Amino acid sequence: MSDFRMFDTLGSALAAQTVRLNTVASNLANADQAAGSAEAAYRARVPVFAAVLEQVRGDGAAVGVQVQEVAVSQAPARAEYQPGHPLADAQGYVYYSNVRPVEQMADMISASRSYESAAQALGTVQELIQRTQIGRAHV
């Protein structure tokens, strides 16, 4: 793998984890949003990743990742009986997002660790390239 492909691969990992972290932040920000109907309630977003395959050599080796889409969760909204609430429907229910904050926090920790690992790998690659070039200069 050439130096530039390593940068591309690690860069794609950093970009994907950034989208993942932003999605988690959006979900957490909307976790307690109330709505007057199940359809209007905020639905959790989930990034869908796909491997980027090598096209030049034709061997199909994975060389990165990309965000294919940010899907909307199909889990039902949480309904709470609150007849006095201004957003309550005719039956007295208020609908809240289907975001589960504990799951989102776990996903955030996982994404931040993945981001950190890719950033450390990027630093290691840069350091190895510098050492290699310094060694060549003295030969």
- Confidence band of 79 (pLDDT split at 50, 70, 90): very high
Write the pLDDT tens digit of every residue in 20-29: 999 999 999 9
Annotate 22-73 with DSSP letters as a single string.
HHHHHHHHTTT-EESSTTTS---EEEEEEEEEP-SSSS--EEEEEEEEEEEP
Question: For all residues of the chain together, what is the average pLDDT?
Answer: 88
Q: What is the mean pLDDT of residues 92-117?
A: 96
- Confidence band of 59 (pLDDT split at 50, 70, 90): low
What is the pLDDT, as a whole number, of residue 83? Answer: 95
What is the pLDDT, as a whole number, of residue 137? Answer: 60
For residue 98, pLDDT beyond 70 = yes
